[in-house]
Chains A and B, each alone.
Chain A
Amino acid sequence: MTTASVPLPAWINYGLIPLLNLVLAFFFSGLVVWAIGESPFEALQLLLIGALGRGEGIGFTLFYTTSFIFTGLSVAVAIHAGLFNIGSEGQAYLGGLGAALVALAMDRYVPWYVTMPFAVIGAALFGAACAAIPAWLQAKRGSHIVITTIMFNFIVSSLMNYMLVRVLIVPGKMAPETRTFLPGGQLPKLDWLIAMFGGKIGAAPLNFSFLIALIMCFLVWVLIWRTKLGYEMRTLGISPTAASYAGIRYSKIVMITMLISGGLAGMMALNPVMGASARLQIEFVGGAGFVGIAVSLMGRNHPAGIILAALLFGILYQGGAELSFDMPGITRDMIVVIQGMVILFAGALEYMLRPSIVRLYQQLTGK
């Protein structure tokens, strides 16, 4: 009550506080590492070198970052309209079907750059379709969007199992996946981007969808802060009563917002499906939808913040994989613990340090 309303300069709000939260997260992760008998400093070093040390590591880091940007934007757009979309995971999964169908249909006939816009649209449409029913239920029936989007994650998961096992599977093969797309259905690697900084991309799957993600960041920024629709979304998100006063139709904005949110989540599929594995595989989303929630929270629902937060989680994913490879004592589960710490301190406990920082700030500035 006494400190929450005290305004702080932007560099403290958006710079110092997130940084301190991050330091805390690493400190407690370090304690865990130390408790199982490994050196925390060595672990941190391995993690950072693994994620950023070589061109290939950077390629992997940015590959993960790409997925998290899409899902982070998806969550953020919904939050601006006051909607908590927990269904990015499922929306991305179904988006993969959209992207894969386009790739399968077009890859024989046209080069990738012709396929790509259709794949973007296909992925977005399928993702949006997945969000449409929960959105409609929220808008017209008042069913809580958190519950319905969670349930749709399961529905999509079952649907995709069926599609991959029964429909899209290559006859005679064991793996529940589509055939490998031809180059006309693949997104090219961004080896030139890594090469610009003097690195080699190696086996890293960083691909063109990274650039699509950055473009989407810009478009989302325009949407939220520079369009009338974004104005209506923000009004509804902050004050539903003010929105109804202003003649902003609740059901319309809920529907549009969720379709955009689902569409952005759907586009995430471009990265792993068309950029990396060149086929639609079971469970390819791998939790990126849920990480998107943390990314959006940490990035304060702003595209610029989302890029930074997605990069952080990209580093954790890639660095963590390297770490568990180099330090046998640290298993894959440990990495999940570290990621959990970051989510805990940067997301859930975001305001823990604020009161003391406010007091310190007031003392230093002479009240």
Chain B
Amino acid sequence: MSLDSPKEHAIELVGIDKKFGTVHANKNINLTVAKGSIHGIIGENGAGKSTLMSILYGFYQADHGEIRISGKPVTIRDSQAAIAAGIGMVHQHFMLVENFTVLENVMLGAEGGQLLAKGVASARKELKRLEDDYGLEVDPDAVIEELPVGSQQRVEILKALYRGADILILDEPTGVLTPPEADHLFKVLRVLRDQGKTIILITHKLREIMAITDTVSVMRRGEMVATRKTAETTVEELAELMVGRRVLLRVEKGAANPGGVLMSVRNLTVKDSRGVTMVDDVSFDVRAGEIVGIAGVAGNGQSELLEAIAGIRKPSSGEIFIDGKPVAGVDPAGLRDLGLAHIPEDRHHMGLVLKFEEYENSILGYHRDPRYGRGPLLDLEAMRKDAEEKIGKYDIRPPNPRLRTANFSGGNQQKIVVAREIERDPKMLIIGQPTRGVDIGAIEFIHKRIIEMRDASKAVLLVSVELDEIRSLSDRILVMFAGKIVGEKSGEAGEQTLGLMMAGIAA
């Protein structure tokens, strides 16, 4: 890479400015991406990365500013125009038709004519060429839903390339991948770059930025605060630029002091709605005063395990004990009464009702408590006061209990859930993905609260697909693969060992 003398700029953004009502999402952004480079964009949630990329991809129009592709000014009104300008996007959540084959998905929207046959033949040929050129091997006749996530993502990349993309935008591409899959993706991206494609990588994972990008730009509060050559910066500098202050990247915690067993799971088997066994004969204990982490790639049964323990999903066999009492089949309300708090994996669909105002969400699950109103009525005054206290204590911003929950940033939404569950002073806390889509400042805060819970002799069960998070918080780590617990390690286990276990390779 000849970063020092970029011959041509793939993308130039000049003075891009965008406001949503009173929110200034992008303030006079200037960005230059060299052709044939991998350019990282990092920033906390709400820093304006997504808005900027949406403007580039035609979802939004900038209020001011100019986009230049290969030096020429362009107007991008919609995604069609973006594709025509050679921009392809790989979304965080895949845009694939699950029961179509790879080939059908790649062709979708570019079928070429009323009859399929001719298009299919040429698409097959083109797909073969793309595979050969870029090492993106996927079986064109495989059905999407039967493919592992890593392959599905390659299909998304193929889709973009098939449409002639020279510039690829990847939005948090490794969130759903195992470490080996992520390494494979990086290999693919390097090949693409070396073949002359330009790649923009949006992520919040600083390690990935360091591992793969050539240059990196940092956004904070709608502004582009810095652009660095990756080789000339450090993780610490980038984190500081993102947050605007020094942050602790490593959680500080003392030794665990585990007490008696508070929660035990015995031979638990859970099936999903289609009857597929998702949790297969799982047994483990969680003691007071320890954090047990469950590592694993998303989709290996952790979600179902959490939901079964939380009473949301009925196990098909096995038993769960809380304080020695069997509780399988007790509903979530009953479990809350027994002192089980649950921070769910998916705050958008489970932990919060996004259309509710903040104070309404701060009682979800505890709304029958007499402190929020006697008899059948709700005491809105008491609810708001309670919410205001939590807002103050957890520094939830903006500090307005009447604001719609959807209008809070991801980190603040998660704080609403965390505050609600922890402030009940439960005996046990089960947590799924505590910091997914949460900015660094809030991650630090949430991790501290979780460790405080442990130090207050609570039993904590933590599920996360972020291996770093599992490793830095857990006292013991259980690895789940294909519904089974394939091994137990101490909190100090190496990433390599755990990564292999997560992939089902070694125990």
Q: What is A's interface to B at a CB cutoff of 8 Å?
A: 1-2, 6-7, 226-232, 234-235, 238-239, 241-242, 244-249, 367
Contact = CB atoms under 8 A, between A and B. Distances in A.
B380 A245 contact: no
B495 to A, nearest CB: 32
Nearest to B347: A242
Nearest to B407: A7
Interface stretch (B109-117, B166-174, B361-369): B361-369
Interface stretch (B86-94, B328-336, B394-402, B435-443): B328-336
B229 interface: no
Contacts of A235: 353, 356, 364
B365 A245 contact: yes
14 contacts: A1-B59, A228-B368, A228-B377, A229-B376, A231-B367, A231-B378, A239-B353, A241-B349, A244-B350, A245-B332, A246-B332, A247-B311, A247-B336, A367-B63
A230 B373 CA distance: 13
Given A7-B21, A238-B354, A244-B312, 8 more contacts: A226-B380, A228-B377, A231-B360, A235-B353, A235-B356, A239-B350, A242-B349, A247-B335
Contacts, number: 77
Contacts of A238: 353-356
A246 B21 contact: no
Given A2-B59, A6-B20, A227 B353 contact: no
A245 B334 contact: no
Contacts of A247: 311, 331-336, 365
Nearest to B352: A242
Interface of B: 19-21, 59-61, 63, 310-312, 331-336, 342, 344, 346, 349-356, 360, 364-365, 367-368, 372-373, 376-378, 380
B344 A2 contact: no
A228 B378 contact: yes
A302 to B, nearest CB: 14
A246 B417 CA distance: 12
Contact of B332 (A227, A228, A239, A244): A244
A255 to B, nearest CB: 16
A239 B354 CA distance: 9
Contacts of A367: 19, 63
Contacts of B61: 2
B82 to A, nearest CB: 14
The 6 A-B pairs at the shortest CB distance, nearest first, are namely A247-B333, A247-B332, A246-B365, A245-B350, A241-B349, A246-B364
Contacts of A230: 378
Majority secondary structure, B binding face? loop
Contact of A227 (B59, B63, B311, B376): B376
B344 A249 contact: no
Contacts of B63: 367
A245 B378 contact: no
A229 B344 CA distance: 23
A357 to B, nearest CB: 15
B359 to A, nearest CB: 11
A242 B360 CA distance: 13
A232 B349 contact: no
A227 B377 contact: yes
B355 A245 contact: no
A17 to B, nearest CB: 18
Contacts of A249: 331
A228 B369 CA distance: 10
A238 B380 CA distance: 20
B349 A226 contact: no
A75 to B, nearest CB: 19
A226 B382 CA distance: 12
B21 A245 contact: no
Contact of A2 (B60, B310, B350): B60
B402 to A, nearest CB: 14
Contact of B351 (A231, A232, A245): A245
Nearest to B18: A367
A227 B20 contact: no
Contacts of A229: 376
Nearest to B79: A1
Nearest to A229: B376
Contacts of B373: 228
Given A2-B59, A2-B60, A228 B376 contact: yes
A112 B367 CA distance: 41
A231 B373 CA distance: 12
Nearest to A8: B21
A241 B350 contact: yes
A227 B378 contact: yes
Nearest to B369: A228
B380 A242 contact: no
Nearest to A248: B333
A245 B367 CA distance: 13
Q: Most chain-A Cβ atoms within 10 A of its Cβ — which of B59, B60, B61, B367?
A: B367
Contact of B353 (A7, A228, A242): A242
A228 B383 CA distance: 12
Contacts of A228: 367-368, 372-373, 376-378
